[in-house]
Amino acid sequence: MHGEGTYTWADGRRYEGQYEMDKKHGYGVYHWADGRIYQGNWFNGKQHGQGKYILQTGEVKIGEWVNGKRTKWLGEDENAGATVGQSIGSANITS
């Protein structure tokens, strides 16, 4: 696949976003079956760059990922207790 699309796994996981050469690449949203969500950048099939991690409770964490691994949370003190629909710093978090 190349371009934009949606892929849904049998277990309920879903990815909506950009693809390049059959891999998640560019901006996309990944939904886990348990309700967690990652919204952000992908490179060569892996989370890469800045993204939002939304827990089942609605708590939002902003972080940085490199080659599929989170390297740090950004502004943890500022993010504490934020939920979808609230502002974090100058960014408005929406689902």
**Under 8 Å between Cβ of 68 and 60:** no
- Overall CATH class of domain 3-92: mainly beta
Residue 52 has pLDDT above 80, yes or no: yes
Cα-based distances in Å from 69 to 73, 78, 80: 12, 22, 21
Mean pLDDT of 78-83: 49
3-state SS, residue 17 = strand
**Under 8 Å between Cβ of 26 and 20:** yes
Report pLDDT digits (tens) over 55-73: 999 999 999 999 999 999 9
Q: Binning pLDDT at 50, 70 and 90, where does residue 77 land?
A: low
Residue 29 has pLDDT above 80, yes or no: yes
Domain ranges of the chain: 3-92
pTM of the model: 0.76
